[in-house]
Homo-oligomer: A and B are copies of this chain.
Amino acid sequence: MKDKVLTLLVEHNFPKLRALLSEMNPADLSVLLTEIPASTLTVVFRLLPKDLACETFVEMDADSQQHLITAFSDPELKEVLDKLFVDDTVDIIEEMPANVVRKILKNSSPEKRVIINEILNYPENSAGSLMTVEYVSLHKEMTVSEAFEKIRRDGVNKETIYTCYVTDGKRILLGIVTAKNLMLAKPEDLISDLMETNIISCKTSDNGEEVAHIIEKYGLIALPVVDNENRLVGIITFDDAMDVIKEETDDEFMKMAAIQPLDQNYFKTSVFSHSKKRIVWLMVLMLSATFTGLIITGFENALTALLVSFIPMLMDTGGNSGSQSSAIIIRGLATGEIKLSDFGRVVYKEFRIALIVGVILAVVNAARLWLLNVVVYHNPDGLVREMLVVGITLIATVVTAKVFGCCLPMLAKKLKLDPALIASPIVTTLVDTTTVLIYFAVAVNVFGF
């Protein structure tokens, strides 16, 4: 596809190119446009049919958008902006440098500018900052056919017409009517009889991610956003909710792996900013490993090859057991499946799981040692002592690891910190330290190594 476009560009075969591009959909086009040389971007973009051009513009990444906006003549930009939904315009503005923002605002209609500024004032990631104000509002005295007329009149540039909002003179949200209700009703039916009055809505100040999960949970096409007086101020549509959830998940993944979330996609992020995003936690964890080092030097006299050879295995098992628990809890907290009030239940459950897992591992490890020492090396001396030291440490480690692993994320959440970001690295450090400590304590004090 890309090559086709490039060849047509070289041949200056614009009619053919235009036809080709017009067949594509915005999502794919936006990707294609980032792949062609920036110099040709504006030329290609100008070939697109107006509507397609705008839909594509919305989907493009900030760099290309900025490139285009700067290249656009004011009338050109005006034309694009007039076609954009307010929420998309705001998303774009949030990514742009001041001079570009000025150019955008200068070319938006005065009314739109007012709304944009309103939305920009909502805290980042709040429902208010996600919403759009292009919704269909009806009055409860209307008949279905009157409603249809109104939709026909101003439906064209509404983000969705499938859920219509019934408001009174003061913009108070009274109910919702779906397009399905309308299409299945008789023309003379009254909106007040059709409307659903027990409404799921959110406040402008609500957390955007939680709102997105509500939309997902109830499978809504759009969710109304109201202010503290229950006046309808906007709606959030399911596709925007899907985007929020996808971004949230991406971030969670990164955080779980001790990476600070990326602002752009993998390839657009430079090697240096990638390094920056990763070095922070690596450094913290490396320095925190000083403790483990100190503990080991503390047990200098016990450092036989035998004991030392188990350190990696014990640390890995501890680390993995811990991250198993923290991952499952962090995810549960994110999706709302696990609540802070479940603390007791969770800890008790993880404790029992840890016991079972720990004992099994200890037994399997004993078997492994027997194989290695008796069958392979024919040297059973001190085998039982070995089995016991390592076995006891394994059980103790798995239990502490899993208890830390489930407590810390919930503690972080309780302290309004980000469980994924805070918990997982701390779990690693704690688990490593305790593992080594338990190990040598048991070996030296209990079994006199």
A: residues with CB less than 8 A from B are 23, 25, 27, 148, 151-152, 155-156, 161-162, 179-180, 183-184, 198, 200, 216-219, 221, 238-239, 242, 245-246, 249-250, 252-254, 256-259, 265-267, 271-272, 274-275, 278-279, 281-283, 285-287, 289-290, 292-294, 296-297, 300, 303-306, 308-313, 315-317, 319-321, 323-324, 326-328, 330-332, 335, 337-338, 342, 345-346, 349, 352-353, 356-357, 360-361, 364-365, 368, 372, 398, 428, 432, 436
Contacts of A331 in B (CB 8 A): 250, 253-254
Give the one of A283, A287, A293 with max B CB within 10 A: A293
Contacts of A161 in B (CB 8 A): 179-180, 183
Known A183-B152, A266-B337, A357-B279: A296·B312 in contact at CB below 8 Å = yes
Question: How far is A216 from B239 in the complex, measured between Cα atoms in Å?
Answer: 7
| Contact present for B316 and A305 (CB under 8 Å) | no
| Contact present for B286 and A316 (CB under 8 Å) | yes
Main secondary structure of the interface of A (DSSP, over half): helix
Query: Please, which residue of chain B has its CB at the minimum distance from the CB of A265?
Result: B337
| Contact present for A180 and B198 (CB under 8 Å) | no
| Contact present for B313 and A286 (CB under 8 Å) | yes
| Contact present for B319 and A293 (CB under 8 Å) | no
4 further interface pairs, Cβ-Cβ under 8 Å (given A258-B324, A316-B432): A23-B198, A27-B217, A282-B357, A289-B313
Question: How far is A110 from B272 in the complex, measured between Cα atoms in Å?
Answer: 64
Contacts of A292 in B (CB 8 A): 309, 312-313
Contacts of A246 in B (CB 8 A): 216, 335
Question: How far is A352 from B274 in the complex, measured between Cα atoms in Å?
Answer: 10
Which of B300, B349, B353 sits near A278, CB closer than 8 Å?
Answer: B353
Question: How far is A256 from B312 in the complex, measured between Cα atoms in Å?
Answer: 20
| Contact present for B271 and A242 (CB under 8 Å) | no
Contacts of A257 in B (CB 8 A): 256, 320, 323-324, 326-328
Please list the 4 inter-chain residue pairs (A to B) with the smallest Cβ-Cβ separation, ordered nearest first: A219-B239, A257-B327, A289-B313, A293-B309
Which of B238, B267, B436 sits near A238, CB closer than 8 Å?
Answer: B238
| Contact present for A303 and B305 (CB under 8 Å) | yes
Known A253-B327, A282-B317, A303-B303: A216·B242 in contact at CB below 8 Å = yes
Contacts of A436 in B (CB 8 A): 312
A-B contact pairs, 7 of them (CB 8 A): A151-B184, A257-B323, A259-B328, A266-B328, A282-B317, A289-B316, A315-B315
| Contact present for B353 and A271 (CB under 8 Å) | yes
Contacts of A297 in B (CB 8 A): 305-306, 309
| Contact present for B283 and A327 (CB under 8 Å) | no
Question: How far is A242 from B212 in the complex, measured between Cα atoms in Å?
Answer: 11
Distance (Å) between the CB of A59 and the closest chain B CB?
A: 10
Question: How far is A348 from B184 in the complex, measured between Cα atoms in Å?
Answer: 59
